[in-house]
Structure 1
Amino acid sequence: MILKRNLLVMALASAGLCMAFGVQAATGDTGAQQTTDSSQQAATTSNNTANNGSTSQATTNPKSQAQLAKSLSTVTVTGFSASVEKSVDYQRYADTIQSVVTAADIGGLPDQSIADSLTHLPGVSAERIAGQASQINIRGLSGDFILTTLDGREQPSTSGTNYIQFDQYPSELINMATVYKTSQASLITGGVAGTIALQTANPLDNTKDQSLNIDTRGSYNDAANGVPNASATGYRLSVAYQGKFLDNTLGVGLGFADMYQPHVSEQFVGEASDGGLYQLNKASPQQSYMPEGVQLQQNGGEERRRGYLGTVVWKPTDELQLTADTFFSKFDNSSYGFGYRSQNYYGNNTQVTNPVFTYAQPGQPGTLIGGTVTGASASSQFSNETTADNYTTNTNVFSGGLNMKWNHGNWHVESDLSMSRAASHEINVDTTADPYNGLGTATPTLMSQTANFLLKGRSIGDLSFANPGIYTNLNDMALSRYGVYPYIYHDRDKAFRTAVQYDLPNNPVFTAIEAGVYANNHAYNADREVYVYGSEWGGYASNSPGQPPLTIPSSAAQVTCWKGNFSGFPCFLTLNGPAILAAHGIVANPVKNITDQSWSEIQSGSVNERTRDFFLMGDIDAQVGGRELTGNVGVRVSHQSQYSNGLQQVGNGEGVPITDGNGNTSTDYAPLKVGKTYTDYLPSLNLIYHWDDNDQTRFSAAKVLSRPPINTMLAGAGSWVSNGQYNVWGGTSPLLNPLRATQYDLDYEHYFDDSTGEVTVGVYYKDIASFIQNVTYNNFDFAAAGIKVPTNPATGQPYANGVYQTAYNAQGGHVDGVEAQFTKTHFLPGIWSGLGFDANVAFSASNVHNPTTLAGPTTQIGLPGLSKRVASAALFYDNGTFSARLSANYRSSFLSDTQIAVDNQLVTFASETVYDFQAAYNITKQFSVVAQMLNLSNQPTRTYFGGNPTQTGTIQYFGRTSYLGVNFKL
């Protein structure tokens, strides 16, 4: 069992404390910038805040741009207080409802990652996978509903689906991150939950002509001593340079970020039920829902990420700016897991005595959560397997392009040409060993075994064996199975966008009108490969003849015992799978396999999406009831085509010759291309009513959409024939509709004088038309859907229509909630003026329900990604010499399918609160020291099935991570 961010990911170390790349553009050492002399100059300054102008994209109103630029130019404080006040200003003057994290949030007093920084914003939470904030949720919706951009360019994903893994982006290289919670016509389509816009810095905005920042620090994980061969130490290094040349008309920015860190964790896993009832033992007719088994595992390994950023900005005149920039990040993650997997409890493989049950409803059969488990017969496929897993993932992301801005009088033009690509090569190696009788003979047999287990909800449970000594005895143990499963993804975007804005300075209603086009070609490829030796649970004779269990040489195994929270569990062998194979003259060679592993061909394929959008929008500035009303109104027309190429298993030799990586050829498969086109009209309205200079009310309404998760649109499908019917399985469909929604927002906002804080409260409502789920259709009309039905040789006619297992647009529902935020800096006099406080809370609800049988009986559970309560708070202090912050993030329980055993499992993540502390001291203007401790309380990740906390899913402990480092800047 593994948890996903490329299956196992350790927490990222933090970014440079005082100034990473672009931070000087946010908080310079020379004090406040001078206020601009005219609104036009201020608007131009605002437009140039980011490389690509995405700031102006969110604040298109010329008057709002001028107000924002003037407010930002009056910031006189530095450090974290400055970043908070800047974030307040961005939110205050934006056309949309948005929340902002500026560079000092990320690079000044850094969190573990950009994802962690985003979770300090109201309504934003993260799924903490492998101890690290990974996938972001916004307003109760998962990452598949979120569009992410870098410098205004759609970002490809390394996850194999739509959501972005934010640890791919070094926080040292990011200047600002904005969460758009409402939409406007000029924003790229794709975020039903919201849009996350990452921005890099413009070197021409740097307050110095030349600046250099070097940050380095070491890390220590206090849980490493519990995992064999795990390192406790790591490091993080970043170097950033910005320079202005040719009388401030040419700007150059270079950034490099290097991170090495170990991964360590220990986990106790309770596996899911298959939803079936099984007899407990031969002596009793009592039936029960049973889990598949229990796992114990130690995880270790290392992560290495290197990020590069280059920016060249040329501004030959006040009217023209040209930018060329590139971003590249390479992330290599190698990790391993050793331990036990006591498995195959259900399926009448075992006899259970001394059972312990939990009940979903009174009067119904219970679900087994404890007892003594033994094999049902001599040939039973039940075993306490020794496991050795290897999860190696190599990913990379490139994003780059050319951007042009031209401002002449009332005309403003921006064009952007870009290419982004991502690649992920993930190899999951699954090694299992079992105890055998008759090793060395022609017919070794699996030993009869017993396990005693008890699940204890959100605490570590019990697992013991009747004869623990056999599992560390090389005379009894043999390798049963060795499987290698590569997952290879390529995700590419080629895009062009242009927008033209014309200011209307004398119009009583509209200050500007803007129109633009957007074109994006998105190509996605998934490749599956496989190599399998042997068979688990003694099934080699029937499942893999000629591949018997392999004896284990002493050089390929080491006895390991548990420590810390897991001490007392049985000792086990840490196995070197490749060495065991090599000792028997075997080399693993994973390839596509069309014969006995045909899913590797069926689940490979491509999806191509073409987006062609046009938008028209007007910026509003009018007088209503003697007060100012600003905002915008517009419409975006989005045309989409989606097609997938794959293989369909037709059978009976009616396909085309397909030769796999082993040289085997089959004619039972036919190429398949399926897809559709659609056009959506997406109106939007954003209104801001200004009661006075410090108080305003916002109302937003829009139609929005998110494209289906890209992996759910693969065309490949397998098949089987029964009772004269042709049946198809696959679980994906290129005919899926997008996830469409209508949303409404209403906010009240109060801002304190001098941008020193805010009080906001708002409500939102999203009516989502559909969600993607799996479905099984009976008597499905395959011909009408363009799916070939082979000929029945007995009749000479096509087989009758049978079962179709696919993905479809299930009925949707609504998501609604309330958000509140309070931020205040400089609320005390004297030396305490550097004290600040920030807190927010969000309450969400939904009427969406999903059925699950993983807990036993069919249970209705909620919407993945939705926590009913999300809150964060931070107390910080900054006097220019000393800085410190204590922060806490809380989210209540939520559902997610990021837990996987063999396939993804929809589980409930228990509520959690994570505390972090950071502090820094400036020795001189050039040198500072930083100390941090993350996850102060060693908060584990806990999951359970079906909303029943007694049915343990996973309990993982990752330890506390401490950092100590220095920063140098010029």
Structure 2
Amino acid sequence: MILKRNLLVMALAAAGLTMAFGVQAATDDTGAQTAAGTSQQTNTASTSQATTNPKSQQELAKSLSTVTVTGFSSSVEKSIDYQRYADTIQSVVTAADIGGLPDQSIADSLTHLPGVSAERIAGQASQINIRGLSGDFIQTTLDGREQPSTSGTNYIQFDQYPSELINMATVYKTSQASLVTGGVAGTIALQTANPLENSKDQSLNIDARGSYDGQAHDVPGANPVGYRLSVAYQGKFLDNTLGVGLGFADMYQPHVSEQFVGEASDGGLYKLNKDSSQTAYLPEGYQLQQNGGEERRRGYLGTVVWRPTKELQLTADTFFSKFNNSSFGYGLRSQNFYGNNAQITNPVLSSLGTVIGGTVATNPAGVGGNQFSNETTADNYTTNTDVFSGGLNLKWNHDNWHIDSDISMSHASSHEINVDTTADPYTGLGTSNPQLMAQSTNFLFKGRNIGDVSMANPGLYTNLNDMGLSRYGVYPYIYHDRDKAFRTSVQYDLPNNPVFSAIEAGVYANNHTYNADREVYVYGSEWNTSPVPGEPPLSIPSSAAQVTCWKGKFSGFPCFLTLNGPAILAAHGIVANPVKNITDQSWSEIQSGSVNEKTRDVFVMGDLDAQVFGHELTGNVGVRVSRQSQYSYGLQQVGNGAGVLIVDGNGKSSMDYAPIKSGKTYTDYLPSMNLIYHLTDQDQMRFAAAKVLSRPPINTMLAGAGSWVSAGQYNVWGGTSPLLNPLRAQQYDLDYEHYFDDSTGAVTAGVFFKKINSFIENVTYNNFDFASAGITVPTDPSTGKPYLNGQYQTSYNAKGGDLRGVEASFTKTHFLPGIWSGLGFDANFAYTKSNVRNATTLAGPTTYIGLPGLSKRVASAAVFYDNGTFSARLSANYRSSFLSNTQIAVTNQLVTFASETVYDFQAAYNITKQFSVVYQMLNLSNQPTKTYFGGNPQQTGTIQYFGRTSYLGVNFQL
């Protein structure tokens, strides 16, 4: 049935606090039906976010009040309205799209937008890429407030944000002066709902869904069953002057995957064995791993809105999300191929001359260095993160005057445990001189397919009489990210001005503090090649190990022992205690530290509304002046007892380290212009130009540094620098847009160009002037004078490059008659290229790869149907290969992610207007994540299967 939407009711999007989580029918006072996933309500904060132009706001409200829609179509068509009447080039996803049929997180919902893609981490969309740029180039706000990060750097992990708690998400692809600084790629603005704009005086929605992950059957002990539960309430009191909104979203699901890993090369040429003169590039080894564990995310939202008069509105709101991810990896790792540590026979070479297969065996006695081994591994990647964001907002509107003021505080923390346990076969285990056994393995990498692996004596690795724990390492990563901010803007409408419809000015202040803490505990030595006195390989009690064999796609690989590392240590009276260590693990002190950033911005912007050659020209022009201050505090290794007394967590002390503070302050003038030329009522062209910047990834600005002395020179390592410049860019956009009648669809096409001045890379300077960077050079005791300047290993602003591309989208609803009128289609495509090249040796010889985050082709499509009783959507998201440094092997590695297409299906049936049944299947084809090194698909990185997930549940609303 058709519903004509009321102006007040529908002026801004639906379903706040995601009052509905399946698309089901709800009857209004006229008897017409709408989707509960589009519970009708407005959010005045969103209106000002979509456009500041008074005329554009009026046109948006007018359009929303006259379009007839039902069900899921309402989400699509409202999104079209926001895009059409916005001052900037933007893409929008509204609550019916997010909350009506909720994705795993906001990240999944955003990937339906043109030019937006996601990196799947542990099988879930997490980091967002926009127009070929990674998350470090994206500014993210919630209700206009900068969001802190749990990633340890700048990018936001969007799986932290339950889709059920977000009312609308806007991706700004062009900038305007009033937007918070920070988005070279774009700005993602998340918005929650205003309970005073709910269509009902009181509403309550409860959604419960059970989930099932088929991959769990291949991982022993994994639980395939999970659930999602959400409850949302909105109420209006005191004659609709007081609104209260409460939301809760709970998710539990298994964390399961299986992966085949080919490890990287170190870029060196090595003899394959002592009897051959043949040299080749070698991988470090390979891994086979099962991942198990569980994920638990709880999100909370609270909003109180007081509107004592039509002119004044006060809002207090909070958002909190806690995500606990217990992730364990068990399997086998054959490692230490390169460095003349093993002999290689029957080699199979890639096109680059890198070994991708052959027989690897222990070197003869006295030949080579550390011996390779087929290790049994037990890893723990358990991570606990939380995000809090809250504040107070005041809006005052009187005649032509409009004031918007906001004070906020946000905090994010992340604690990753990162445990690495290895066990190897030994002779003489338990004696004073245990020796690593001679071993061999055959392997073959098969590019983007699971490779072949076998071992000469596979039963050896499940025999507790021979296997001993060689090493147990714990490496916690602890991050805290805090923001305190204030912003205010004043807008004055100019209804009779022939050029400007309004003038707006404002100020913004943000204090941002980032703390990184590294800790460490290590028992023993991997392969026992560097024996630690008093820390021999440990025997493994039967109660701390279980024989595990592979199933499914990985069946046939050698069985292994699932190890309980803490239990093995406990059986020998040892308890791991990770702390900062100033003596033999001094990097834990050096890599700890803090960065303080201060932002002080002012802006002025004029909204345009003029007649040019008989057609209307709207948009805005303005300038933002941004002053940034960045200073870091850490420890510098000076040696010779020339520092201050440092006592670490083990009670050990050193005077070889001195506190260091370093940083800089800079000011940028950021002009912007957005022009919309209205050719007809349905056709318009857009042109935008702006200068933008993103602050350097905050973890690259730590000041801590280690050092060494060689030939009378003082050398510094660290790989980070608080003297980095921001990532500045100039960008230009040109778009054509055609809109169908009654907002039932749109066709858009556009081109964009970005010139990015620099990227952050690592560099080694020789004979570096340390004094110029504020780094003290200690005294050489042999001369009584400072050491000579030597190497400086740091980060720097490398040469930038160009980024250009095209985007096109097509959306249409209600294009068929009768029962098929509920059918709709949405598709988009983006093509992006860049001249940026990065050198890498991870595939063997030096090769050049592109810009991290850039997929040349990104596309998505969805077919949906709803008739008020039944709703369904089948969607596909495709991205071509891209680079990312999110693959971790001790440290982050820059790898190529292979192209992928992910299919999802969602459906809902309304039994009554209060009760509905919902079904979903995510990742229909069980699309794995595949990576490879150096742009060479033959050089396998990771092939990881996560399985498909099904949801079945019910929704109840009052």
Report the equivalent of 1:14. Answer: none
Q: Which letter does structure 2 place at the counterpart of 1:21?
A: L
Separation of aligned partners in 2, 1:756 and 1:529: 56
Instruction: Give the match for residue 505 of structure 1.
Output: 495
Question: What per-residue deviation string (whole Å, max 9, x for no partner) do you get for residues 912-935 of structure 1?
Answer: 011110111000000000111111
Structure 1 CA distance for aligned equivalents of residues 868 and 69 of structure 2: 8
Partner of residue 884 from structure 2, selected from 876, 896, 913: 896
Offset of residue 540 of structure 1: 4.2
**CA contact under 8 A between 1:31 and 1:77: conserved in structure 2?**
no
What's the counterpart of residue 599 of structure 1? Answer: 587
Q: Summarize deviations over 1:817-847 as a string: whole Å, max 9, x none.
A: 0000000000000000000000000000000
State the AA in 2 paired with 1:594.
Answer: I
Distance 2:42 2:660 in 1: 47
- Looking at structure 1, the residues matched to 839 and 714 of structure 2 have their Cα atoms a distance apart, in angstroms, of 27
* Count of aligned pairs between the two proteins: 932
Report the identity percentage.
83
Asked if 2 retains the 8 angstrom alpha-carbon contact of 1:328 and 1:397, the reply is yes
1:962 aligns with 950
* TM-superposed deviation, 1:24: 7.0
SS at match of 1:217: strand
Match of 1:781 among 763, 769, 774: 769
One-letter amino acid matched to 2:125:
A
Letter in 2 for 1:408: H
Q: Which segments of 5 or more consecutive residues in structure 2 lack a partner in the other structure?
A: 1-13, 32-40
Match of 1:71, SS?
A: helix
1:460-499 alignment, distance < 5 Å: 460-499=450-489
User: Does residue 367 of the first structure (1) align with residue 357 of the second (2)?
Assistant: no
Does residue 940 in structure 1 map to residue 945 in structure 2? no
Per the TM alignment, residue 109 of structure 1 is displaced from its structure 2 partner at its CA by 2.0
CA distance in 2, matches of 1:341, 1:794: 47
Cα deviation 1:315-340 (Å, max 9, x = unaligned): 01010000000001111111101001
In the TM superposition, residue 210 of structure 1 has moved relative to its aligned partner by: 0.7
Match of residue 11 from structure 2 = none
Query: Which of these residues, 331, 336, 344, is aligned with residue 336 of structure 2?
Result: 344
8 Å contact 2:105–2:160 — kept in the other structure?
no
Task: Give a deviation string over 1:673-699, Cα, whole Å, max 9, x none.
Answer: 000000000000000000111000000
- 1:648-659 paired onto structure 2 within 5 Å: 648-659=636-647
Aligned to 2:372: 382
Q: Which moves more between the two structures, 76-85 or 259-268? A: 76-85
Question: Partner of 1:844 in structure 2?
Answer: 832
**Secondary structure in 1 aligned to 2:58?**
helix
Q: State how far apart, in whole Å, the 2-side matches of 1:570 and 1:55 are.
A: 60
Change (3 A) 1:801 1:905: same
Q: CA deviation at 1:178?
A: 0.4
Note if 1:517 corresponds to 2:507. Answer: yes
State how far apart, in whole Å, the 1-side matches of 2:17 and 2:321 are: 15
Residue 118 (1) aligns with residue 119 (2): no
Q: Give the SS at the match of 2:792.
A: strand
Counterpart secondary structure, 2:696: coil
The correspondence for 1:804, drawn from 787, 792, 801, is: 792
Measure, in 2, the Cα distance between the counterparts of 1:617 and 1:29: 42
Q: What secondary structure, in the 3-state scheme, does the structure 2 residue paired with 1:65 have?
A: helix
**767-776 vs 789-798, which deviates more?**
789-798
Indicate which of 901, 904, 912 corresponds to 1:916.
904
Q: Does 1:21 align with 2:17?
A: yes
Q: Does structure 1 residue 636 correspond to structure 2 residue 624?
A: yes
Pairing 1:264–2:256 present: yes
Distance 1:55 1:806 in 2: 45
The SS at the match of 1:285 is coil
- In structure 1, what is the Cα distance between the partners aligned to 2:430 and 2:805? 65
Residue 8 (structure 2) aligns with? none
Three-state SS of the structure 1 residue aligned to 2:383 is strand
Residue type of the partner of 2:141? T
Q: Distance in 1 between matches of 2:903 and 2:69?
A: 26
Q: Is the 8 A contact 1:540 1:547 kept in 2?
A: no
For residue 872 of structure 1, what is the aligned residue in structure 2?
A: 860
Give distance in 2, aligned partners of 1:377 and 1:684: 68
Equivalent in the alignment of 1:282: 274
Match of 1:614 in 2: 602
Q: Look up the match of 2:759.
A: 771
Find the aligned partners of 1:593 and 1:692 in 2 and give their Cα distance: 69
- Residue 714 of structure 2 aligns to a residue whose secondary structure is strand
More divergent stretch after superposition (68-77 vs 109-118) = 68-77
Distance 1:250 1:24, change over 3 A: farther
Is the 2:19–2:205 contact (alpha carbons within 8 Å) kept by the matching residues of 1?
A: no
Matched letter for residue 878 of structure 1: D
Q: 2:47 matched to which residue of 1?
A: 55
Measured in 1, the distance between the counterparts of 2:592 and 2:171 equals 34
Q: In 2 relative to 1, CA 32–917 (structure 1 residues): closer, same or farther, beyond 3 Å?
A: farther
Structure 1: runs of 5+ lacking an equivalent = 1-17, 35-47, 361-365
Q: Tell me, yes or no, if the aligned pair for 1:23 and 1:175 is still in contact at 8 Å.
A: no
User: For 1:763 and 1:595, how far apart are their aligned partners in 2?
Assistant: 56
SS in 2 for 1:537: helix
Contact 1:650 1:790 in 2 (8 A): yes
Task: Kindly state the Cα deviation for residue 54 of structure 1 after the two structures are TM-superposed.
Answer: 4.7
Partner of 1:9: none
Q: Which amino acid aligns with 1:881?
A: T
Q: Give the conservation status (yes or no) of the 8 Å contact 1:22–1:200.
A: no
Deviation at residue 28 of structure 1 after TM alignment: 9.4
Determine if the alignment matches structure 1 residue 931 to structure 2 residue 919: yes
Determine if contact 2:47/2:57 at 8 Å carries over to the other structure: no
**Partner Cα distance (1:846, 1:932) in 2:** 37
Describe how 1:678-717 pairs up with structure 2 within 5 A.
678-717=666-705
Answer with 93-102 or 18-27: which moved more: 18-27
Corresponding residue for residue 536 of structure 1:
526
In structure 2, the residue matched to 1:826 is: 814
Deviation of the 1:568 alpha carbon = 0.3
Measure how far apart 1:111 and its partner are.
2.3
Q: Is contact 2:104-2:159 (8 Å) kept?
A: no
How far apart, CA to CA, are the structure 2 residues paired with 1:338 and 1:83? 44
Looking at structure 2, the residues matched to 32 and 816 of structure 1 have their Cα atoms a distance apart, in angstroms, of: 51
Q: Secondary structure at the match of 1:70?
A: helix
CA contact under 8 A between 2:482 and 2:514: conserved in structure 1?
A: yes
TM-score by length of 1: 0.95
SS of residue paired to 2:360 = strand
Q: Report if the CA contact (8 A) 1:23-1:104 is conserved.
A: no
CA contact (8 A) 2:607 2:619 kept: yes
8 A Cα contact 2:597 2:631, kept in partner: yes
Residue number in structure 2 paired with 1:91 = 83
User: Relative to structure 1, is the Cα distance of residues 156 and 375 closer, same or farther in structure 2, using a 3 angstrom cutoff?
Assistant: same
Matches within 5 A, 1:401-480: 401-480=391-470
Please, what TM-score do these two structures have when normalized by structure 2? 0.96
Q: Distance in 1 between matches of 2:718 and 2:536?
A: 32
- Distance (Å, rounded) in 2 between the aligned partners of 1:429 and 1:569: 24
Give 1:490 shift. 0.4
Give me the whole-angstrom Cα distance separating, in 1, the residues matched to 2:26 and 2:695.
44
Deviation of 1:20 after TM superposition, in Å, equals: 6.9
> Which region of structure 1 is more displaced relative to structure 2, 109-118 or 496-505?
109-118
The match for 2:223 among 231, 238, 249 is 231
Q: Determine the structure 2 residue equivalent to 1:587.
A: 575
Equivalent residue of 1:518, what SS? strand
1:57 to partner: Cα distance: 3.4
1:705 shift after superposition: 0.2
Q: Measured at CA, do residues 695 and 24 of structure 1 come closer, stay the same or move farther in structure 2, by a change above 3 Å?
A: farther
What's the counterpart of residue 135 of structure 2?
143
Local SS of the residue matching 1:890: strand
Q: What is the identity, as a one-letter code, of the residue corresponding to 1:419?
A: M
1:561 is aligned to 2:554: no
Shift of 1:76: 3.7
Write the letter of the residue equivalent to 1:412: H
